[in-house]
Amino acid sequence: MGKQRVIVFAVSTPTAVEPPRTRERILDAALALFAEKGYDATSMREIAEQLGITKAALYYHFDSKADIVRAMLADTERRVAELAAWAQQQPCTPDLSRQVLARWSDIMQARGLAAFRFVVANRAVIDELGPERHDGMHACVGDLCTALVPASASVEDQLRIRLALMSINMAGLVGTDIDADESDLLTAARRLALELLPDA
């Protein structure tokens, strides 16, 4: 009688996906508390309590509030870098600019706008993290703009692209007293940003 083969199936469990999900929840909760109470007034204990987890569980993912901020900024920078890399592979057309504005708006809605507000309100905190955080994002935005309008374009057209992108971010700052949720605000900002794009 031949040997029986034993086939073992790997079964995924909720634990296998829990760390990434928990990490995202921590970033969202921390940003909300920073906006409500201020960065300095928010403690790691309060972030843990907001999430209903222990401080030990929080420290498993992040060593400090500064570590949370680094992760938040790195996440937004990664999304922008991916968008820039994609745009650089596409034909430079007016349709590409419209697609990029739509995807930029999606990035802002997926925590990017909250990150932008945090940066504006906490310059001292950002400066303490080092220039690489600001320089990295600046380079990504520059790559994105170059993909949409080449350096040989007029100064006006190069400004138009940058103003179109930044107008979506600015809506999150100047529109805080408007009676509208963030999704509606970003949708309106994107429509206005389209009017700033260079002519075909």
Residue 32 sits at φ, ψ, to 5 deg, of: -65, -40
Same domain, 58 and 75: no
Residue 200 lies in a domain: no
Residue 4 lies in a domain: yes
Domain end position, chosen among 20, 39, 62: 62
Same domain, 170 and 87: yes
Q: Give the count of beta carbons closer than 10 Å to the beta carbon of residue 9.
A: 4
pTM of the model: 0.79
Same domain, 169 and 110: yes
Same domain, 81 and 15: no
Domain range for 89 = 65-194
pLDDT tens for each residue of the chain, 200 residues long: 555 544 443 343 444 445 568 899 999 999 989 988 999 999 999 999 999 999 999 999 999 999 999 999 899 899 999 999 999 999 998 999 999 999 999 888 878 778 888 888 888 888 888 777 677 888 999 999 999 987 788 999 999 999 999 998 888 778 778 888 888 888 898 999 999 998 75
Domain end position, chosen among 62, 83, 108: 62
